Amino acid sequence: MHEDIQEVLFSEEEIAARVAEIGAQITKDYAGVVEQDGQGIILISVLRGAAIFMADLAREIKLPLEMDYMAISSYGNGAKSSGVVRILKDLSSEVEGRHIIVAEDILDSGLTLTYLMKNLASRNPASIEVATLLRKKTLAQAEIDCKYVGFECPDQFIVGYGLDFAERYRNLPYIGILKPEVY
Ligand code: XMP
Ligand code: MG
């Protein structure tokens, strides 16, 4: 284990098993939709944290799909997100009439996702659902409608498997709690 990690929450094996389950569930849920629609799903990941999750999830969905990326930056001071978001990189594809699944790394206050959902909905997709790898146990995001959730996690600073602190630790194969003395 990395010396900056206080506790491993989810091992590489646990993550792989859960991602496979979510992929199988999506495959089941969207098989009919994709057949009827004649077009695949569009998986969208929010850079950069969700890129690793989406790459693994995509390979567990046994249906035609496209992958696209958005980069956003939230304004505001410090560690808590303000919900005011700026788009740094927009999608490459048109999503009107398409079935979108947004892959997120972690849902904390839910403000970032709320903004993103509004923005995507304004482009008139056929449907939008969210697959988040992690959801923090906080009251604030209780009302966020998220169809696929990998794991519930404690309200601490989490890194690994795409999640960073100051751009580090994204390449840890497991998910863990960062030691408070590191940040
Ligand atoms: P909100 O509060 O808008 O924030 O739901 C979601 C975004 O905040 C980042 N975030 C974290 N990143 N470890 C991280 O590496 C964490 O524990 C953490 N909590 C929130 C993340 O970018 C997420 O998309
Ligand atoms: Mg980050």
Mutate to test the pocket of ligand 1, among 48, 54, 81, 130 (most ligand atoms within 8 A of CB): 81
| C-alpha dist (Å) from residue 29 to 59, 124, 166 | 16, 21, 37
Angle at 69 between CA 65 and CA 72, to 5 degrees: 150
Q: Are strands 41-47 and 99-107 parallel, antiparallel or unpaired?
A: parallel
Which ligand sits nearest to residue 71's alpha carbon? 1
User: Number of helices and strands (H, E) in the chain?
Assistant: 3, 9
Q: 105, 108, 145, 164: which is the annotated catalytic residue?
A: 108
Structural domains of the chain, with CATH = 15-153 (3.40.50.2020)
Q: What is the longest distance spanned by two Cα atoms in the chain? A: 53
pLDDT of 72 reads 87
Q: Judge whether 26 and 56 are in contact, CB under 8 Å.
A: no
| 68 classed as catalytic | no
Pocket of ligand 1 (CB under 6 A): 49, 81, 105-113, 157-159, 163-164
pLDDT of 80 reads 61
Distance between CA 154 and CA 180 in Å, rounded?
A: 14
Q: What is the pLDDT along the chain (183 residues), one digit of tens a residue?
A: 899 999 999 999 999 999 999 999 999 999 999 999 889 999 999 999 999 999 999 999 999 999 999 998 876 555 566 667 888 999 999 999 999 999 999 998 888 888 899 999 999 999 999 999 999 987 665 567 899 999 999 999 999 999 999 999 999 999 999 999 998
Which ligand sits nearest to residue 75's alpha carbon? 1
Q: Which atom of ligand 1 is nearest to the CA of 107?
A: 5
Give the E-state strand segments of 19-168 in sequence order. 41-47, 65-74, 85-89, 99-107, 127-136, 148-153, 158-159
Amino acid at 43: L
